[in-house]
Amino acid sequence: MSVSARVAEERGSALGGEVGYSIRFEDVGDPVRTKIRFLTDGVLLREMAEDPLLSRYSVVLVDEAHERALTTDLVLGLLRKIQRRRPNLRLVVASATLQAAEMAAFFEGSSEQ
């Protein structure tokens, strides 16, 4: 079972309604009803290209940030830049082995620069 399906089940909704997901060639969700959307880092990069401020999102959670893939590093750098212009955007960076102090320092001054 995918994470999105599990979250939809936990919330008592059908996948594609309140909870959706987007991967490279598949988008399951409703532009109006979907409130929680799971994306790959590549899909999120594409959304950043189309909407540089990610205006349709109020919270972005990046999981497995310790993997340090090129796309993940790009996402984190762009999120830092977006947060400078949108200080109300909430960012959650999650990882089992991430150095929290280093990540906090990376984002700490983003709203001031």
Q: Kindly state whether residues 49 and 103 are assigned to the same domain.
A: yes
pLDDT in tens, 34-88: 999 999 999 999 999 999 999 999 999 998 887 778 999 999 999 999 999 999 9
| Residues whose CB falls within 8 Å of the CB of residue 77, separated by 6 or more in sequence, listed in order | none
Range of the domain at 107: 40-113
C-alpha 3/C-alpha 33 separation (Å) is: 19
Q: Kindly state whether residues 51 and 100 are assigned to the same domain.
A: yes
Q: Kindly state whether residues 47 and 90 are assigned to the same domain.
A: yes
DSSP E strand boundaries for the chain: 19-23, 26-28, 36-39, 59-62, 90-93
- What's the mean pLDDT in 22-42? 94
**Which pLDDT belongs to residue 113?**
44
Number of domains in the chain: 2
Q: What are the b/e assignments for 77-103, b being 16+ CB within 10 Å?
A: ebbbebbeebeebebebeeeebeeeeb
**Which pLDDT belongs to residue 110?**
56
**Which pLDDT belongs to residue 86?**
95
Q: Kindly state whether residues 74 and 55 are assigned to the same domain.
A: yes
**What is the share, in percent, of the chain residues with pLDDT greater than 70?**
94
**Which pLDDT belongs to residue 89?**
94
